[in-house]
């Protein structure tokens, strides 16, 4: 199935570049814009070609998940992936599209070229796709170590157009994957289980992934995606229009980026939502700044002259990723300053969410100093008698699971005071857990992660909660049993 559709960020970039081209009369700038447009359009055509064949092959296949256009940020660099294919065999395929329809050549010395012209008589160097694939595999493996993943093998594949001519001289004992877009399904079905130069085996597990596990991997990869919006005006060397720099009362288009499509160019901005064309005025220019502590790190908020705010996270990678998840639907990423640009009201929403998260952490710390308490008065949970109904995952004492009528539920024991009940976007299990916790008045709902937190104390509480979750019956099930009774 197609879990993440192809985004139209690139089409938005084309639109913005076309607007800039009409705006300028500088032929040098126009030539630069034309070069960017040619490159983007060629890349889009190649990615759409691959997306078409992936849709035909796996659009209705529940055992293989496809995600398009992913971008991950890791401590050691950024990885941009055209397509990702996940199989229940615990394999992750990283597909890098090469859209050249002429020739791709690798000589005996390992140098790569793109051929063009009549009979391919001209050559120009191109980046080494093997090194690129190895780098992608390395960075993705590093990211998978940070998120809970069932993937054991990561494979990079170079995808070429069906009519591309490829002439590759392989070194002795060298193996890497080059596949035509229309033959990927056949190649995957017939692929032998051997390693290559662009393959990494992380850990061996037994058996195939179930539906919940493969869905969970796809969901985590999608959540880890970090979008980027380019400052095309600055990249092609164009200055800000004087009218836009002189006043913020006039409404002008900021971008066609999806995060801003709900803003209409002909609508008057609210008092706390000024609009400005381009991003150059926000790079290292501000009239005030404030740093606020957050769990595990801090955020710095920069106030700009037009009332907009830039928010930058400081701290470990997981802290910065958590802040990015909160900001991705509220602002626009500025790569030059490594910050999120947004209106004052959206910035306030992010700060409020972070403070709520901080309050949960503080409540956990405070709870750790209290003596163990009994189950609160009210409806009583099932008793915890006999053996545990929870199964340890890979023998780990901090990771357990149960299988309800609706699927898999993970129970993760945190170092600080709580268990986490995680369903990986299984809506029926979400309803099941929420109904139990609300009915028995136990646990805390953590909205940011869509998880329920169950305290460590008293020790048998988690066992009793899990048993109640297993025994829970949805209304539709009860109604059906009444009808057949």
Q: Which two tokens stand for residue 177?
A: 């994957």
What is the pLDDT, as a whole number, of residue 87? 93
Nearest to 310 by CA among 283, 328, 275: 283
* Closest CA relative to residue 322, chosen from 283, 296, 349: 296
In contact, 400 and 419? CB cutoff 8 Å: no
pLDDT of 357 > 70? The answer is no
When comparing pLDDT for 122 and 273, which is higher? 122
Q: In the predicted model, is pLDDT for residue 474 greater than 60? A: yes
DSSP label of 474 = -
Model pLDDT, residue 329: 79
Enumerate residues 6+ apart whose C-beta is below 8 A from 169: 106, 107, 108
What is the tens place of the pLDDT at every residue in 171-190? 655 667 889 999 999 999 88
Per-residue confidence at 364, pLDDT binned at 50, 70, 90?
A: low
- pLDDT recorded at residue 362: 53
Q: What local confidence, expressed as pLDDT, does residue 172 receive?
A: 57
In this predicted model, which residue has the larger pLDDT, 174 or 334?
334
Return the pLDDT at 463: 93
Per-position DSSP letters for 181-242, written without gaps between them: GGGHHHHHHH--S---TTEEE----SS---HHHHHHHHHHHHHH-------HHHHTTPPPPH
Q: Which residues contact 202 (CB under 8 A, 6 or more apart)?
A: 141, 144, 145, 151, 152, 153, 154
> What pLDDT sits at residue 389?
92
Q: In this predicted structure, what is the pLDDT of residue 167?
A: 84
Per-residue confidence at 481, pLDDT binned at 50, 70, 90? very low
pLDDT digits (tens, 9 = 90+) for 205-248: 668 888 888 888 888 888 888 877 778 888 888 876 644 443 33
Residue 272's closest CA among 242, 246, 248, 239? 248
Task: Quote the pLDDT of residue 176.
Answer: 77
At residue 278, the pLDDT reads 52
Percent of the chain clearing pLDDT 90 (strictly above): 13
- Per domain, the residue ranges of the chain are 2-224, 285-370, 391-482
* Structure-model confidence comparison of residues 393 and 415, the more confident one: 393
Residues 6 or more apart in contact with residue 477 via CB below 8 angstroms: 405
Residues 168, 169, 170, CA angle at the centre, nearest 5°? 110
Higher pLDDT, 335 or 464: 464
Q: Which CATH architecture group holds 391-482?
A: 2-Layer Sandwich (3.30)
pLDDT in tens, 13-58: 888 888 888 888 889 999 999 999 988 888 888 888 899 999 999 9
SS3 358: helix
Q: Given this model, what pLDDT does residue 102 score?
A: 72
Residue 372, pLDDT above cutoff 60: no
């Amino acid at each position: 199935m197609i879990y993440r559709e192809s985004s139209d960020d690139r089409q938005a970039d084309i639109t913005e570049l076309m607007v800039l081209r009409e705006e300028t009369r500088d032929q040098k700038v126009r030539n630069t814009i034309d070069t960017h447009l040619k490159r983007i359009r060629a890349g889009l055509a190649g990615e759409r070609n691959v997306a078409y064949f992936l849709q035909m092959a796996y659009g209705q296949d529940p055992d293989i998940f496809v995600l398009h256009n992913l971008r991950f940020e890791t401590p050691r660099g950024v990885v941009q992936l055209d397509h990702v294919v996940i199989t229940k065999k615990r394999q992750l395929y990283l597909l890098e599209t090469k859209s050249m329809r002429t020739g791709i050549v690798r000589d005996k010395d390992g140098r790569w070229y793109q051929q063009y012209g009549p009979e391919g008589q001209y050559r120009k160097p191109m980046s080494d796709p093997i090194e690129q694939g190895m780098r992608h595999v390395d960075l993705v493996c590093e990211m998978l170590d940070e998120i809970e993943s069932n993937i054991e093998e990561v494979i990079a594949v170079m995808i070429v157009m069906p009519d591309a001519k490829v002439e590759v001289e392989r070194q002795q004992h060298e193996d890497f994957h080059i596949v035509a877009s229309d033959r990927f399904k056949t190649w995957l079905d017939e692929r032998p289980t051997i390693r290559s130069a662009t393959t990494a085996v992380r850990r061996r597990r037994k058996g195939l992934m179930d539906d919940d596990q493969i869905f969970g991997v796809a969901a985590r990869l999608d959540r880890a995606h970090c979008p980027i919006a380019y400052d095309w005006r600055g990249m092609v060397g164009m200055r800000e229009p004087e009218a836009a720099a002189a006043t913020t009362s006039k409404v002008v288009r900021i971008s066609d980026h999806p995060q801003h499509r709900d803003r209409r160019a002909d609508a008057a901005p609210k008092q706390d939502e000024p609009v400005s064309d381009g991003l150059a005025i926000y790079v290292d220019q501000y009239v005030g700044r404030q740093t606020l502590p957050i769990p595990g790190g801090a955020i710095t908020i920069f106030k700009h002259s037009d009332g907009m705010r830039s928010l930058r996270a400081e701290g470990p990678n997981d802290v910065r990723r958590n802040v990015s998840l909160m900001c991705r639907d509220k602002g626009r990423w500025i790569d030059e300053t490594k910050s999120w640009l947004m209106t004052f009201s959206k910035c306030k929403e992010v700060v409020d969410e972070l403070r709520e998260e901080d309050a949960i952490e503080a409540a956990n710390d405070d709870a750790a100093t209290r003596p163990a308490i009994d189950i609160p008065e009210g409806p009583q949970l099932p008793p915890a008698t006999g053996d545990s109904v929870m199964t340890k995952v890979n023998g780990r004492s901090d990771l357990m699971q149960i299988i309800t009528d609706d699927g898999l539920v993970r129970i993760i024991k945190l170092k600080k005071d709580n268990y986490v009940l995680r369903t990986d976007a299984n809506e029926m299990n979400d309803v099941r857990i929420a109904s139990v916790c609300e009915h028995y008045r136990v646990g805390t709902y953590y909205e940011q992660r869509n998880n329920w937190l169950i305290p460590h104390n008293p020790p048998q509480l988690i066992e009793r909660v899990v048993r109640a979750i297993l025994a829970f019956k949805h209304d539709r099930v009860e109604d059906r049993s009444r009808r057949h009774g």
